[in-house]
Structure 1
Amino acid sequence: MTNNPLIDYPDLPPFADIRPEHVKPAVEELVAAGRQRIHDVLAARDFSYRALEMALAEEDDRLSKAFGPVGHLNAVAQNEVLREAYNGCLPLLSEYGTEVGQNSALFDAYQTLHDSEEFARLTPAQRKDIDNTLRDFRLSGVALPDRRKRQYMENAKQLSELTTRFENNLLDATQAWKKHVTDVAELDGLPDTALAGTADRAAAEGLEGWLLTLDFPVYFAVMSHATNRALREEMYRAFTTRASDQGPQAGEYDNADVMNEILRLRHEQALLLGFNNYAEESLATKMARDVDEVMTFLNDLARRARPQAEQELQALRAFAAEQGAGELQPWDLGYWSERLREARYDLSDEALRPWFPAEKVIAGMFSVVGTLFGIRFRQRDDVALWHPDVRFYELIDDDGGVRAAFYLDMYARTGKRGGAWMDDARLRRRRLDGSLQTPVAYLTCNFAPPAGGKPGLLTHDEVVTLFHEFGHGLHHMLTEQEVAGISGINGVAWDAVELPSQFLENWCWTEEGLALISGHYETGEPLPKETLEKMLAAKNFQSAMGMMRQLELSLFDMRLHAEYQPGLDIQGVLDEVREQVAVVKPPSFNRFQNGFGHIFAGGYAAGYYSYKWAEVLSSDAYSRFEEEGPFNGETGRDFRAKILARGGSEEPMELFKAFRGREPSVEPLLRHSGIAQEPA
C-alpha cells in the first residue's frame, strides 16, 4: 500500500450499467462520428501528424473504450441477451474497419505525411507508427480495384462473424455437458479441492452430490486423479469431441463447416492481396521471414526433442505396466503420468495446492515484479467490477505516480470463456489536449474457485499461468510509448509478443521466487526446502513430450494455412502431422481441432509457432539473469527499459540484441527444458 493520492478513472466502464439494448445504437453513433472525423480531416487538407494521426487515434480510442467492455463482458459474463447485442455489432465494426483500411484518400494522406519534411522531425516511434500504418493499409486492400475491395470487405465481415460463431459453439458445447454423481465412490482419487468444487456446483443447481463439467479445472482433476477409468474415458470423449460430429453432442454445435469457411475466406483474402496463401500474409507482419524458415525451425526442434519424448513415453508405459494398467489409452496418460511423477519425485501438483493460496501468490508475484522493475501495487475498492471475484489494482512507479492499472479475474464460472488471457481496457497514449492516458489491462484466468470453506488454492502450473498472463500485462502497462499504434503490445510482431510472458514464468522456479509466492494457507509455513528440491527436480518431467505436442500444433497450423486448397481435409492434415511428429496418437474420434480457438478465433492463425519462437527469445533473455542474479534490480530495469518500455517502436530483434548484446540462441531453451543438446 502507498500514501499516494487516488486518481479518478472517469472513462472506465460501469459494468453493471451496461445495457445490451444500448450497445448497437452507441456503436453506430461512434462509427458515424469516426467517418465524419475522417471526412473532416481529409477536407481540411492538413496532413500534419497532429491533425491526421493524433486526431484519428482519438476517435479510435473512443470506439475502443465503448465497445471493448462489451466484448470483455461477452467473454467473462456471457448471457444470451449480451451475446446477441455483441454479435449484432460485429458486421458493423468489421465493415467500418475494412472501409477505413481501404480508404484510398486516407492512405494518400498518410503517404503525404510520410513524404513531408515534418516526417524527418518526428520521433523514431512516431515514424515507425506511420510506416506500420501504411503497411496495414496495403494489407487491408487499399490498392485493390473497387470490385475486389467490395469482395475483401464482404469476406472480412463474414470472417468476423464466423470466428465469433466458432467461440460461441465451443462455449455452448463446453457448458452443455454435465454429469451428476451421487455416489462419491465414483469419484475415488479426486483431490479434496475438486470434490468441494463439484459439490458446490451441484448445490448451486439444487442437486445433492457432485456435478462434473467440462470446465478445465474439473476436467484436468478427473483426468489426472480419478481412479475410475470409465469416468476418465467418458470425460475424455466429451472434452475432445466438443463442437464436432463426434461424441455425446455429435453435430449439435459442430464447428466443422465454420472452420472450413474460415480457411476458405482467409485464403481468398490472401489471394486478393497478392499472396500465395494466408500463411504468407500472416508472416508479413512477423519476425519470421517466410514459411520455410518457420517450418525449418519447427522441424529442427522436433528432431532434437523427439528421441527424449519417445523415451519419456516408454518410461510411462513401463511404469503403468508394472502397476498392472495394461495397454495405455489416451484417457490413461494424464492419470499414470501423475502417478509416475509422484513415484519418481514423491510429489504431486495437488499436494502442492495448500502451499499456493491465491492471496499469497498474488502478493508474492507483486513482490517479484516490484523488485525487478521498481513498481508497487495498490488495490482499489471504488472501481466498478463485473463480478465479486474481480479486483482492481494500480501500479505505482518509483516517482510515486500511478503508472497503470489492471482488473484481475482469476476463477472459472458459468458464462466465462475458458483459458487465460490479457487484453487492453485502454492504451497509454498522448491525447490531443496534451494529457497522457494511463494504460489499463484485463487479466483473466480460469482457476478452480474457492470451495468447501477453503480459499482459492492454485496448482503450481496455475501459478505459472498467472505469471505468464501478468507478463503480457506488464508489456501493456509498463510501455513508455505515447503513440497508440505502438503502445504496449501494439505493433509488436506476433512471434515476439510472448517474450515478456514466457520470460516472467522463470521466477516461479527460482528458490527466492518460490519463497515469496508460497506459504501454507492455514499456517503460513514456508514451502519446505525438501519440497522445493523435489519441485525443481521434477521441473522438466515429460518436458520433451510437452514440446512435441506444441510442435505438433504449430506444424498443423502452419501447414493448414500454407497448403490450403479448396476441399482441404483438415483432419487429414492433422493426421499427417501427427504421423510425422506425434509420440502419442489420439483415437480417430478425437476432434481437437474443432476447439482449437487459438487459430480459428484467437489471433494465432499461421502464428501458433510464435509460442516456441518467442520461447527461444525468453529463455535466452532469462539466461542473462542466471549470469547476473535472478533478482538483480539493475538487470530487471534494463529489461523494462529495453523490452517492456519500447512496445512496438522498434523491430523485436533489435530490442532483443540491445538487451542481450547478441542475437538469440536456441541452446538456453533446450537447457531450460532439460532436453539433451547436440555437440557444437
Structure 2
Amino acid sequence: MPNPNPLLRGDRLIAYDQVTLEHLKSAVEHALASTEEAVLEQIIERQQQLPTWDDLVLAVDQLEARLQGAVYSVMPLHTRGPDWADLVLELLGKVDSWFKQKDRSLRLYRLYQRLAESEIGRALSADKQLTMQKRLREFRLAGVLLDESARQRLGELDTTIARLQREFGDNLDRSVSDRKIHVQDQQRLRGLPARNLAELAAHAHAAGLQGWLVPCEEQPCKAVLKYAQDRLLREQVYRAFHTRGSHDDPTLDNGPLLQALAEVRQERAELLGFPDAVALSLEEKNLGSWSEVQGFLQDLQARVTPGMLGRWRTLLEQAKEQGLDQLKPWDVAYLQHSLQGRLTALDEEQVRAFFPYDKVIAALVELTRELFGIALVPVTSVQAWHPEVLTFELVEHHAIIGHLYVDGVAREGKEPGSVYTSYSFNRRVDAEGVYHGPVAMVFSDVPEGVDGAPPLLDHLALRKLFHEFGHALQHLLLRTHNHLLSDTRRLGRVGNEVCSKLFERWVWSAEFLASISADYRTGGRLPVSTLQPVLKRLQRDALGEVAMGVVLSLLDLDLHRNVKDGRALQVRVEDSYRQVFGRPLADFERPAQAFEHLVGGYDASYFSYLWSDAHAVDLFTRFEQVGLRDGATGHALREKFIAHGASRTLADSVADFLDRPLNLDAYLRWNRLEAAPE
C-alpha cells in the first residue's frame, strides 16, 4: 500500500499540492532518523571484514542520495510561511551536520582506504577507482586525519562560520527591508517606463501605501538609476542600494562579520595544513594554481582599466553638456543610457515586448531538442509547489532519463532575486542495477506581467534564465553512474559554471534572438539588423560588469589571503576599486557589506565567474563556426564535455571538445580587450 505522505512515496515527481504541514513534519522526522549515526555505523560494522564496492561505496552513495533528495525536494516549500521555513531549515541543518560528521569518520575513511588498496579495489574499473580516490581526498580535506582535539576545533570553527553567515544574511535582509523608498509625487518618477511605474505601484499597494514604493532590490533600483530624470531621487536610491548591509551599530553591520569570517576561515585553513583560505579554496574547489589565478586577474585588470578611464572621461564630457557641475555615481547609469539612446533607435524596453516568457521557454525546449536530441515533455499529472511552476520529463530514445522543474517568474511570497539551480537527485545506478534519474530545479526572477501583458524578458532576464538552464542541462545530461561522479559541483567552481555561462552566449547572438522573438501583441519578429545595435550597446555595458567582477575578485582574494596584515576591510575595498577603475570609490559606498557570494560558497573563489566565462566564450567559438543550432556540435558538447561529469578534469574536457587547450583570445576579443597592456 503506497505511503499517504506525498513526500515519502519514493516518487521522483512529488504531488506538492497535496503536501500539508503535517506531511512535511513527518518527512522531516523520517529524514532526520536516517541521519542518525547508527545508520552509517551499521554500514561500517558490516564492512569491517571485507569492504566491497556495492556494500560500502554504493551503500554510502545511496544514503547520501536519499538525504540530498530529502533536503532539496522540500526546499521550495519554505516560502509557504514561517512554520514551513523553520522545518525546512531544521532539516537542512541536521543533514549538513551529518555530512560533516561522515566526512570526519576515521573508521569510514579506513574502509575506503582498505578497499582502494586491496586486490578487489585494484581490479575495479577506472571510474570506480577514481570515485574512491575522490572520496579519500574529500575525507582528508575535511580533516579526518587530524587528532581528536583538532577535529573538535574544526567543528567549532564550522559552527562559528555558519553562525556568522546567518548573521550576515539577517543583517542584509533587515537593511534591504528598512531602505524602501516611498514616492508619493509621480513627477519624481518622470522618465521611468510604464512597466516600471506599474511594478512600483504594485509594491506600494502590497505594503498598504498610496503612490509608489522602490524596494532596495537590484531590478527596481537599477531601473530608477537608468531612467529617472529626478537627480535627487537617483541619489536617494543609489545611496540606499550601495549601503545595504551597513549600519552605524557595529552589531548590525556586515563589515565586522566579514572580517571575523575571514579570520575564522584563516584558522580553519591553517588547521588543515594550508597557508591561507585561498590555498585551501583552490584545492577544495579544483581551481588550479595561485599563479594561474593571479596571472589571469592581473592581465585582465591591466586590460580593463584603460577602458574604464576612457569611459569616465566620456561621461565627464556628457555631464558638462547636461549642465552638471559634478559627475556623481548616481548620474552614471542615467548618462550612459542617454548617450546610448543616441546610438540606436530601439530601447531595451521595446525589445522586451518580443520575448514573452512562454515563447522563451518554448525556445529553450526546442534548442535542447536540436542540440542534444532530448525532448522536454511537459508533465501535467502532478502539480509542483506552485501552479506556475513548469515540470518536464527528459525523454531520450523513448526513455525518461530525468526531470526538470522551472520556476522562472517572480511572484508574491517568492524571495526577490531568486536566481539559482538546485539538484534534488544525481544520476546513479544502485547496487541492484536500478537506474535513478537526475532531477534539477531552475529558479529565476522574470518580472510578473503588468497591465494585461504576460511576463516579458529583457536581455538581463534572458541571460539569467539561459544561465540557469545551462546549469540544469549540465546536471541532467551526464552519463556517469554513481552519486559522486554525477555531482557537477565536484567539478569545482569554474567547472560548475562553464555550461551556464556557455548557454548565455546564445542570447548575445542577434540571429538567434531574432529567430525566437515574437511580439506578445502581434507575434511579429525583430529583424537581425534592429537587434544588432541593441546588443552592441549591451556588450559595451558588459565590460563594466567584467570590471566590477575584477574588483570583487581582487577584494575576495585580498581578504582571504592577507587577513593578518592589519588592513581594514574598507581599505581593501577602496584599494581594489581604485586599482581597476583608476579613481576612488564614493566615501559612503560599502559594497563588501552586501557581497553575498562571500557567505554563499564563493569565498576565495569569486574570480571563478570570470574564469568560467573565458572558458565559455572559447567553447562557443565551435558553434559560431558551424551554426548555433548544429546538432552534431551539440552531440559533441554532450559526449566530450558534459557527459563525463566529475570523472575527469575541466581542462581535459575542454581540450577534447575543442581539439586544443583553452585559448583566451576569443574572450579578450569579445570584451574588446585584445590590445595587450603596455
8 Å contact from structure 1 (residues 91, 160) kept in 2: no
SS at match of 2:403: strand
> For the Cα contact (< 8 Å) 2:419–2:443, is it kept in 1?
yes
**Would the alpha carbon gap of residues 478 and 285 (structure 1) be closer, same or farther in structure 2, given more than 3 Å must change?**
same
Query: Where does residue 4 of structure 2 map in the other structure?
Result: none
Instruction: Please name the residue that 1:350 is paired with.
Output: 349
How far is 1:296 from its partner? 1.7
Shift of 1:202: 2.6
- Give the C-alpha shift of residue 449 in structure 1: 1.4
Q: Is the 8 A contact 2:226 2:337 kept in 1?
A: yes
Q: Deviations over 1:83-110 (max 9, x none)?
A: 4334445553443222211111111101
Deviation at 1:416, TM superposition (A): 0.9
More off after superposition, 648-657 vs 346-355:
346-355
For the pair 1:575 / 2:558, whether they are aligned, the reply is: no
CA contact (8 A) 1:552 1:581 kept: yes
Q: Distance in 1 between matches of 2:129 and 2:320?
A: 63
1:425 maps to what in 2?
424
Distance apart, 1:675 and its partner CA: 2.4
Go from structure 1 to structure 2 and tell me whether the alpha carbon gap of 1:332 and 1:274 turns closer, same or farther (over 3 Å shift).
same
Give the direction of change, closer, same or farther, for the CA distance of 1:363–1:282 in structure 2 (3 Å limit).
same
Does residue 503 in structure 1 map to residue 499 in structure 2?
no
Output the CA distance in 2 between the equivalents of 1:89 and 1:257: 29
1:163 to 153, 162, 165: 165
Structure 1 residue 43: Cα displacement: 3.6
d(CA) in 2 for partners of 1:84, 1:385: 21
Q: Which runs of structure 2 are paired with 1:5-44 in the superposition (5 Å)?
A: 10-15=11-16, 17=19, 19=21, 25-32=29-36, 35-44=38-47
Q: Which of 35, 50, 55 lines up with 2:54 in the alignment?
A: 50
The one-letter code matched in structure 2 to 1:284 is E
Contact map agreement 1:341 1:347 (CA 8 A) in 2 = no
Post-superposition shift, 1:27?
4.2
Q: In the TM superposition, what is the alpha-carbon distance from 1:584 to its structure 2 partner?
A: 5.7
**Structure 2 partner of 1:225:** 227
Taking a change above 3 Å as real, the CA distance of residues 605 and 380 of structure 1, as seen in their structure-2 partners, is same
Q: 1:168 and 1:126 mapped to 2: Cα distance? A: 43
- More displaced, 250-259 or 499-508? 250-259
Counterpart contact for 1:364–1:518, Cα < 8 Å: no
Partners of 1:620 and 1:646 lie apart in 2 by 19
Q: Distance in 2 between matches of 1:23 and 1:560?
A: 41
| Counterpart mapping for 1:241-320 below 5 A | 241-245=243-247, 253-320=252-319
Larger deviation: 15-24 or 495-504?
Answer: 15-24
Equivalent AA in structure 2 for residue 624 of structure 1 = R
609, 621, 636: which is aligned to 1:638? 636
- Give the distance between the partners of 1:421 and 1:85, measured in 2 at CA: 21
SS of the aligned residue for 2:484 comes to helix
TM, length-normalised to structure 1: 0.92
Structure 1 residues 389, 207: CA separation in 2 closer, same or farther (over 3 Å shift)? farther
1:44-87 Cα deviation digits (max 9, x unpaired) = 3231111111101111122112222344444xx27433443344
Instruction: Determine the C-alpha separation between the residues in 2 that align with 1:636 and 1:474.
Output: 12
Give the Cα–Cα distance (whole angstroms) in 2 for the partners of residues 584 and 378 of structure 1. 52
Q: Of the candidates 407, 410, 416, which is equivalent to residue 408 of structure 2?
A: 410
- Pairing 1:280-679 to 2, within 5 Å after superposition: 280-397=279-396, 399-412=397-410, 413-565=412-564, 569-583=568-582, 585-600=584-599, 602-678=600-676
Is the 8 Å Cα contact of residues 15 and 384 (structure 1) preserved in structure 2? yes
Shift of the 90–525 alpha-carbon distance from structure 1 to 2, 3 Å rule, reads closer
1:195 corresponds to which residue? 197
Secondary structure of the 1:486 match is: coil
CA deviations 1:387-420 (Å, max 9, x no partner) are 33322122222x1222222221223344515252
Q: Deviations over 1:530-558 (max 9, x none)?
A: 31232243242144333211111111111
Distance 1:360 1:333, change over 3 A: same
Cα distance, 1:9 vs. partner? Answer: 7.3
- 1:64 aligned partner, one-letter code: Q
The structural deviation recorded for 1:659 is 0.6
Aligned alpha-carbon RMSD (Å): 2.4
% of aligned pairs identical? 29
Distance 1:568 1:145 in 2: 33
Greater CA deviation, 340-349 or 498-507?
Answer: 340-349
* In structure 1, distance between residues paired with 2:588 and 2:353: 37
For residue 506 of structure 1, report the CA deviation from its aligned partner. 1.5
In the alignment, the residues of structure 2 paired with residue 144 and residue 474 of structure 1 have an alpha-carbon distance, to the nearest angstrom, of 39
Where in structure 2 are there 5+ consecutive unaligned residues? Answer: 1-8
Residue in 2 that maps onto 1:5: none
Q: Which residue of 2 aligns with 1:151?
A: 153
CA–CA distance in structure 2, aligned partners of residues 584 and 437 of structure 1: 55
Aligned to 1:115: 117
- Looking at structure 1, the residues matched to 485 and 94 of structure 2 have their Cα atoms a distance apart, in angstroms, of 25
Match of 2:242 among 228, 240, 243: 240
In structure 1, distance between residues paired with 2:467 and 2:99: 31
For the residues of structure 1 that align with 2:125 and 2:452, how far apart are their CA atoms? 56
Q: Which amino acid aligns with 1:111?
A: Q
Q: Deviations over 1:288-329 (max 9, x none)?
A: 433232122101111122212222222233223323234221
What's the TM-score, normalizing by structure 2? Answer: 0.92
Assess if the C-alpha contact under 8 Å between 1:285 and 1:494 holds in 2.
Answer: no
Write the letter of the residue equivalent to 2:551.
Answer: E
CA separation in 1, counterparts of 2:101 and 2:10? 32
How far 1:24 moved relative to its partner?
5.5
Q: Which amino acid aligns with 1:41?
A: I
Could you tell which deviates more after superposition, 364-373 or 518-527? Answer: 364-373
Equivalent AA in structure 2 for residue 574 of structure 1: V
Could you say if the C-alpha distance between residues 73 and 111 of structure 1 is closer, same or farther in structure 2, counting changes exceeding 3 Å?
A: same
Aligned length: 665
Change (3 A) 1:85 1:91: same
Tell me: CA distance 1:605–1:660, structure 2 relative to 1, closer, same or farther (3 Å): same
Could you say what secondary structure the match of 1:142 adopts?
A: coil
Find the aligned partners of 1:585 and 1:79 in 2 and give their Cα distance.
44
Alignment equivalent of 1:131, drawn from 109, 130, 133: 133
Contact 1:125 1:650 in 2 (8 A): no
Q: Against the structure 1 CA distance between its residues 362 and 83, is the aligned structure 2 distance closer, same or farther, given a 3 Å change threshold?
A: same
Cα distance change, pair 658–604 in 1 and its aligned pair in 2 (3 A): same
Tell which deviates more after alignment, 374-383 or 422-431.
374-383
Q: Is the 8 A contact 2:279 2:290 kept in 1?
A: yes
Which residue identity does 2:222 align to in structure 1?
Answer: F
Deviations 1:551-580 (A, max 9, x none): 111111111111122865222211221222
CA change 1:83–1:162 in 2 (3 A) is: farther
CA contact (8 A) 2:190 2:229 kept: yes
Partner of 1:105, secondary structure, is helix
**CA-to-partner distance for each residue in 1:270-297, whole Å, 9 max, x for gaps?**
1110101111000013454332321221
Q: Are the structure 2 counterparts of residues 589 and 327 from structure 1 closer, same or farther at C-alpha, using a change threshold of 3 Å? A: same
CA contact (8 A) 1:642 1:658 kept: yes
